[in-house]
């Protein structure tokens, strides 16, 4: 779940950076903002199917025990998180870049301390924006953010920063996330790509002179496989009917003001762990709502 959150926040940062093509970063060094990332994840219509593997014989009682042990996958509760965040404009660099540092503490599973997450967005006079991530103490999150770094700094994305927007103008883009990048050094390797077509629409200036953008995206069927060190496929993840919608508002000095994103998808997970005599298939509809206000 935390990986998904991190990937969602990262894409949100990318959408904010897109708008900087016409919104110059004029906030002075020392400017500080605080905010709260509010995320709610819901699952509905969850089903679980546990079956013996081919050529495996199980007693009725043994199969019943396995089905009972995985029954909780069919009743996943709604999860809500509120993560405080801070933003600070740092002194201008010698090359003219204006660094803006965002910091937040990412909650971890019970028994683990929160992980501090820091990212610097450097805004250059020519309109380019460079993302730099500071090291993260959790290896899984460190790998995930390292995988997103190339996406954030892709020249294809940088081209948008120099264009002039007019109200109603739409910028369409196809983004591909190679999941191999997210599991460097892990016991299990992710194989497969997630591809989404997104649209960024400039709406107008708001009542407080802020810039308003609408964000939308969609994706068809994507398959991600988890492979162990011996090359066995131990898990398959299918994401279908992915839809994203939202709104991003930026202050007139270029800093973020508000971001709201809604995501939905049909997710199917097939687990085929070598140590188990059964295959587990779970399917569900998943939605995630995320709001970030800066003050």
User: Is the C-alpha dihedral spanning 273, 274, 280, 283 positive or negative?
Assistant: positive
**Does 153 score more than 60 pLDDT?**
yes
* Per-residue model confidence as pLDDT tens digits over 130-141: 888 887 777 666
pLDDT at 16 over 60: no
Q: What is the mean pLDDT of residues 200-210?
A: 89
Residue 98 has pLDDT above 60, yes or no: yes
162 confidence band (pLDDT: 50, 70, 90): low
- What pLDDT sits at residue 282? 95
State residue 32's pLDDT score: 97
Q: What per-residue confidence (pLDDT) applies to 19?
A: 43
For residues 13 and 81, the model is more confident at 81
How high is the pLDDT of residue 34? 96
Give me the pLDDT at residue 18, please: 47
Can you give the pTM of this predicted structure? 0.81
Contact by Cβ (8 Å): 95, 76: no
* Residue 290 confidence (pLDDT): 96
- Rounded average pLDDT over 49-68: 92
């Amino acid at each position: 779940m935390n990986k998904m959150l991190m990937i969602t926040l990262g894409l949100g940062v990318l959408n904010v950076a897109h708008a900087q093509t016409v919104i110059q970063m004029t906030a002075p060094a020392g400017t500080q903002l605080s905010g709260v990332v509010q995320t709610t994840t819901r699952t509905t219509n969850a089903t679980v199917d546990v079956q013996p593997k081919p050529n495996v014989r199980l007693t009725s009682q043994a199969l019943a025990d396995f089905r009972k042990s995985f029954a909780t996958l069919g009743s996943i509760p709604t999860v809500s998180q509120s993560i405080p965040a801070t933003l600070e404009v740092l002194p201008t660099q010698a090359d003219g870049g204006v660094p803006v540092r965002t910091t937040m503490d990412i909650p971890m599973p019970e028994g683990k301390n929160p992980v501090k997450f820091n990212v610097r967005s450097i805004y250059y006079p020519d309109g380019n924006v460079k993302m730099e991530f500071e090291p993260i103490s959790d290896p899984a999150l460190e790998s995930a953010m390292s995988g997103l770094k190339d996406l954030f700094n892709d020249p294809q994305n940088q081209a948008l920063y120099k264009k002039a927007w007019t109200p109603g103008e739409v910028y369409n883009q196809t983004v591909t996330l190679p999941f191999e990048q997210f599991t460097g050094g892990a016991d299990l390797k992710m194989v497969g790509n997630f591809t989404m077509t997104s649209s960024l629409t400039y709406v107008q200036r708001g009542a407080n002179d802020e810039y308003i953008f609408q964000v939308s995206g969609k994706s068809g069927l994507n398959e991600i496989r988890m492979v162990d060190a011996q090359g066995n496929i131990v898990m398959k993840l299918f994401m279908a009917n992915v839809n994203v919608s939202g709104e991003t508002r930026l202050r007139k000095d270029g800093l973020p003001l508000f971001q709201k994103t809604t995501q939905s998808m049909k997710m199917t997970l097939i687990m085929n762990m070598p140590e188990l005599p059964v295959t587990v298939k779970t399917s569900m509809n998943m939605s995630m709502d995320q709001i970030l206000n800066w003050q």
